[in-house]
Amino acid sequence: MTGEAAAAAGRPVVGVVMGSDSDWPVMQAAVEVLEEFGVPSAADVVSAHRMPTDMISYGQAAAGRGLKVIIAGAGGAAHLPGMLASVTTLPVIGVPVPLTHLDGLDSLLSIVQMPAGIPVATVAVGGARNAGLLAVRILAVSDPALAARMAEFQAGLRAGAQAKGEALQAKVRVLRSGQDLAPPSGATGPGSEL
């Protein structure tokens, strides 16, 4: 089944996998943003170290079951994204999950330092939402309606940033009018010259 056919049938086109259910608090942001865009996904635990043969089977079967993108998150010795990328032709997006120690730097380096020939698109530590958005962009290359939704989403980001700028300018105007920094009578020091 092709990815388009799978999506049309409501079948998942993005596989979201993680090394443990303890990764879910981070990884759920990927599923949430895929839901926002109406992209069917399927989430599961596929541990590279605790269930290696299942991991290989998952990667080998992924394209055939209609998946078009895999998002894989793991923490610590985070080998899941890279190993999946080695057994599938699908694009794999890696999410470094931060654990208690090392602040996720271990996860980041485990995922991002792939050998030549086997790419993994690595997002920031804990960046599952961006992983979902990147998956949407990959799918949108061949889906004009999805591309339009992404453009609309980005316009919303721009409007939000503009609103922040306007709010900031308003604060600056207040500051310059002296309303916030009016010094007590007779006071000297920073702000008293405003």
CB of 20 to ligand RP5, least distance (A): 3
CB of 27 to ligand RP5, least distance (A): 9
Residue partners of 50: CB distance under 8 A and separation at least 6: 19
HEC assignment per residue over 17-64: EECCHHHHHHHHHHHHHHHHCCCCEEEEECCCCCCHHHHHHHHHHHHH
Our CB check for ligand RP5 shows the closer of 19 and 127 to be 19
CB of 110 to ligand RP5, least distance (A): 10
Our CB check for ligand RP5 shows the closer of 39 and 95 to be 95
Q: Looking at beta carbons, which residue is closest to ligand RP5?
A: 19
Q: Fill in the DSSP letter of residue 9.
A: T
CB of 45 to ligand RP5, least distance (A): 8
CA 191 to the chain's CA centroid? 43
CB of 167 to ligand RP5, least distance (A): 38
Our CB check for ligand RP5 shows the closer of 19 and 126 to be 19
CA 31 to the chain's CA centroid? 9
Our CB check for ligand RP5 shows the closer of 70 and 146 to be 70
| 132 and 124 Cβ atoms separated by less than 8 Å | no
Given the rule CB under 6 A, which residues bind ligand RP5? 18-20, 22-23, 47, 74-76, 97, 99
Our CB check for ligand RP5 shows the closer of 34 and 97 to be 97
DSSP β-bridge partners for residue 45: 18
**Residue that has been written with the tokens 């339009």 in this structure:** 148
